[in-house]
Structure 1
Amino acid sequence: MLATGLIAIDATILATAVPAVVRDLGAFEQFPWLFSIYLLAQAVSVPIYSKLADTFGRKPVILAGVGLFLLGSILCGFAWSMTSLILFRLVQGLGAGAIAPMSMTIVGDIYTVAERAKVQGYIASVWAISSVVGPALGGVFSQFADWRWIFFVNIPLCLIAAWALTRRYHEHLEPRRHRIDYAGAVLLTIGLAAVILGVLEGGNAWAWWSLPSVLCFGIGAAALAGFAAVERRAAEPVLDLGIFRRRLVASTTLVSFAIGALLTGVTSFVPTYLEVSIGVVPLLSGLAVAGLTLGWPISASLAGRLYLRIGFRSTVLIGSLIALAGAAALAASAPFPNPWTVTAIAFVIGFGLGWVAAPSLIAVQASVGWGERGVVTGANVFARSAGSAIGVAVYGAIANNVIAAGAGDHDPATMIHASGSVFIAAAVTGVLLLASGAWMPRGPVAEHPRVDAAGAPAGDPA
């Protein structure tokens, strides 16, 4: 929870401080890269860290992530230009890429299937609290102190998290030689970086059919094709593509992708929809989205009782239906903007997703042994990041086309129409979520015994 809190707060604390950062460093046109480079570095590094964790253990990987995040935070606090700040945000993103999957992998290692939903609820509550605390802290530091403190505040948090992990988390490793798949790691990094960069910046920094866009997707496709060829021959592949032949792994990965895309539709477009349509102040529009982050941990903490009774697949299907109903209600209510209605609907969507995210992750973790748990967890985390990135691109393109059809006007009526179209697309994403959940195998998941890296029974999580 401490380690997750680092990246959860950082995900929201910078947004409210952007005006102060731009006033100090200038280069307004570059500030979107503060977010893009962080997301890119985090998403690209997740599969690499996940394989390293299955090879060398979770503890060194998560401690390295905390260390990188600490280094990046200190450097960001001393940034002297927008370019330097963007570069140091990349270092932060590389740290976050280790922390996110390792926190969930460690939970899968040391807790039973019955216990994991409750613990995942604790982890989800960290995100919920951070979604409220982060923007408030960013605003306080920007207005009453210095925006650099939004990075310096990470220093004590990183040190406490590292101390707690070092002192309380123990794993036993059997030393043996490993053949590191350097070629696969390089090709995967290049391929993912190029494709995600193309998705993040297409339609923003450059047109979709421009030369930069074509180069990004072309290089990405070529690198990923080379990666697939290398992995077939690698002794210890960085990502064994064979795991996706397992129906449970493939279906839960699609579920995670759909979760990321649906989340983006709500969190990215609801605030603008309320602010432009009826003039809601930013603080209130942000609280509307907080309804989602409140519903999520409540249902996630209750999910364990449900999936132990009716199974993982049935729990995921119920949660998917609830989230789909919420997304459909959001689309239906779009012509009648009301912040309280949107807050209630966002709560319903979050409540449904809590019954999807935790059980689908726990199911796939339970189906594999220690040596694959990091990889399948990393695939789940990466799929959600990819879903968010692609969701932003698709929803943004839909909104821009509606606005362009309205002669480019940004009047309330046009923006309501554009937002409504985005919410319809989010409801379609809800259908994809439901279909992915229905593809999960029927029947119980055979749980692997809890063992550590050396194959010995795992110790008491306390």
Structure 2
Amino acid sequence: MKNNQKTKRPLVLAAVMLAMFMAAVEATIVATAMPGIVADLGGFSLFSWVFSSYLLMQVVMIPLYGKLADLYGRKLIFSIGIGIFLIGSILCGFSWSMEMLIFSRILQGIGAGAVQPIATTIVGDMYTKEERANIQGYLASIWGVSAIIGPILGALFIQYANWSWIFWMNIPFGILSACIVIFFLHEKVEKKKKQVDYIGAILLFVSLLTFMFVLIQIDEGLFLSNLQLLLIICVSIISMISFISHERKTKEPMITLSLWKKKEIRYANLASFMSGVMLLAVSGYLPTYVQGVLGQSPLVAGLTLTVISIGWPISSTIAGKMMLKTGFRVTAVIGGVALVISSLCFLTLPYFAHFLWAGLGSFLLGVGMGFSTTTFIVSIQSSVEWKVRGEATAMNMFMRLLGGAVGVALLGGILNRQLRASFEQVGQSLSIEPTIDAVNVLLEAEQRANLSLGEQQQLQTILASSLSAVFMSLFIVAIIGFVFISLLPKDSTKTNKSKTKILN
């Protein structure tokens, strides 16, 4: 099926890149600014929920948006998603408490579920497999640009303005991107009876939400009693079983489970889940380590994340050319090796306590993400037809973001539990109350200056040992991810070699 000839590919590609830039900058700025936000709003124990709430809604909405994009077209759903995302961004900037920020991030996540997967799907529609492999380098370069701009802006906003601007700066980018897509993307959507699996979406949301609460409960006694926790576990299991059963029976499932029968999709999705755990955990907790333990400024902490997005586009560009010659599996394995080495860098941070070592780990993480994710997307889009390409693309991003949401929640629970146990051992030897929120003091230079040298070192030791448990978990995740990558089929480049252009 060919689409309208009036589509302006260069302009639409620019709009897609702008939308992805907005999402990329959001990731680097928020991660960099979080220590400053926590220092202002308080509530370190809710730290992980700022990421988890956003990711949870994004994860739940991605497959729904993917299905809606296949039914109603990319343009409409993409524009609606950006609109919701911008409303959430505005509310984030006006947040007066950590609870308000979390609520606003939920709304922001609902819209964000449409931005990146549909943007990537639009590219998949406009270009052939060979063109997509090359153009992935251009798309990945967005991360390099945002990596330089994001942390610098984040640090400047924290030090000279207000952290609210890290959210408000999304507004012009989002509006411009949506307008270009609305006016210059022309697609031919099949006119057929539209059925959306809202029941499936609700069941998936309930299952994931309750599952996230269970993970958070690794931090003992944070919200719920044992009986309440048991009930939530039962609800999570029942709703997931119901979701799978419903998806198998319904005519228009939100997630086409049969897609998982393809090895290219199954193992790519599982590996994406693991890489998502690593990416979001590092983005969430590394700046805290660099600022709180190493005593560096927000700018330096941001720069240690910046190199993720420098390694990403470089490796993605190389991967785009390499996969056509060596195959998808070889290219993805290189990425898996880089992810394992990256996790070793973070694991050994206590022995090489320097921000440059943290930066090396981040760079290798970016290299691993570039080689693996680029390969996964091109492989998946090349193995399915147009009518399910949006869903298949969204599913891969769904798994990566689900990994991020689960990882942040799980590792946040581990971190809080380690911190709680350490502060219980400290007792009253500190001049401040020995609770998890005592970590807030390390993240604010003026408050840190009020501590004695001994107290500061004691708090840094507690935070460092607690984060070491997080980094050990990341190493295990990297190994599991490498196993999944190694299971990709060797002849995946020969699968469904379609050169048909969907958009011109």
Q: Determine if the TM-score, normalized by the shorter chain, exceeds 0.5.
A: yes
Q: Determine which structure has greater relative contact order: mean sequence separation of CA pairs < 8 Å that are 6+ residues apart, divided by chain length.
A: 2
* 1:5–1:209 Cα change, 3 Å: farther
2:328 to 292, 307, 312: 312
| C-alpha deviation, 1:237, in angstroms | 1.2
| C-alpha deviation, 1:363, in angstroms | 0.6
Match for 1:424: what amino acid? Answer: M
Is 2:269 the partner of 1:253? Answer: yes
| C-alpha deviation, 1:223, in angstroms | 1.4
| C-alpha deviation, 1:31, in angstroms | 7.2
Which is further off, 250-259 or 213-222? 213-222
Separation in 2 of the partners of 1:419 and 1:186? 35
| C-alpha deviation, 1:281, in angstroms | 3.1
1:328 to 344, 347, 366: 344
Match for 2:498: what amino acid? Answer: P
2:78 to 55, 58, 62: 62
Secondary structure of the corresponding residue to residue 239 of structure 1: coil
Q: CA RMSD in A?
A: 3.2
Q: Which residue in the other structure is 1:156 paired with?
A: 172
Q: Is the 1:200–1:392 Cα contact (8 Å) retained in structure 2? A: no
Q: Is the 2:137–2:320 Cα contact (8 Å) retained in structure 1? A: no
Separation in 1 of the partners of 2:159 and 2:198? 46
| C-alpha deviation, 1:80, in angstroms | 7.0
Deviations 1:332-384 (A, max 9, x none): 45423122233223222321321111102211111001111112212211111
Q: Which residue in the other structure is 1:181 paired with?
A: 197
Q: Which residue in the other structure is 1:206 paired with?
A: 222
Deviations 1:304-342 (A, max 9, x none): 221111100111112212321232344345423122233
Is 2:472 the partner of 1:424? Answer: yes
Question: What percent identity do the matched residue pairs reach?
Answer: 36
2:502 to 449, 458, 462: 458
Separation in 2 of the partners of 1:144 and 1:288? 21
Deviations 1:132-172 (A, max 9, x none): 43343344445544554444332221221012112332211
Separation in 1 of the partners of 2:307 and 2:490? 32
Q: Is the 1:322–1:348 Cα contact (8 Å) retained in structure 2? A: yes
Q: Which residue in the other structure is 2:313 paired with?
A: 297
Q: Which residue in the other structure is 1:43 paired with?
A: 59
Q: Which residue in the other structure is 1:442 paired with?
A: 490
Is 2:26 the partner of 1:10? Answer: yes
Secondary structure of the corresponding residue to residue 356 of structure 2: helix
* 1:60–1:270 Cα change, 3 Å: same
Secondary structure of the corresponding residue to residue 2 of structure 1: helix
Match for 1:391: what amino acid? Answer: G
* 1:397–1:233 Cα change, 3 Å: closer
| C-alpha deviation, 1:247, in angstroms | 1.8
5+ residue gaps in structure 1? 452-456
Q: Which residue in the other structure is 1:89 paired with?
A: 105
Q: Which residue in the other structure is 1:454 paired with?
A: none
Which is further off, 365-374 or 29-38? 29-38
Aligned length: 455
* 1:182–1:408 Cα change, 3 Å: same
Separation in 2 of the partners of 1:149 and 1:278? 27
Q: Is the 1:180–1:236 Cα contact (8 Å) retained in structure 2? A: yes
5+ residue gaps in structure 2? 1-16, 427-457
Secondary structure of the corresponding residue to residue 230 of structure 1: helix
Q: Is the 1:110–1:450 Cα contact (8 Å) retained in structure 2? A: no
Q: Which residue in the other structure is 2:444 paired with?
A: none
Separation in 2 of the partners of 1:258 and 1:348? 15
* 1:10–1:272 Cα change, 3 Å: closer
Separation in 1 of the partners of 2:40 and 2:351? 40
Secondary structure of the corresponding residue to residue 236 of structure 1: coil
* 1:56–1:278 Cα change, 3 Å: closer
Is 2:363 the partner of 1:347? Answer: yes
Separation in 1 of the partners of 2:102 and 2:347? 36
* 1:24–1:249 Cα change, 3 Å: closer
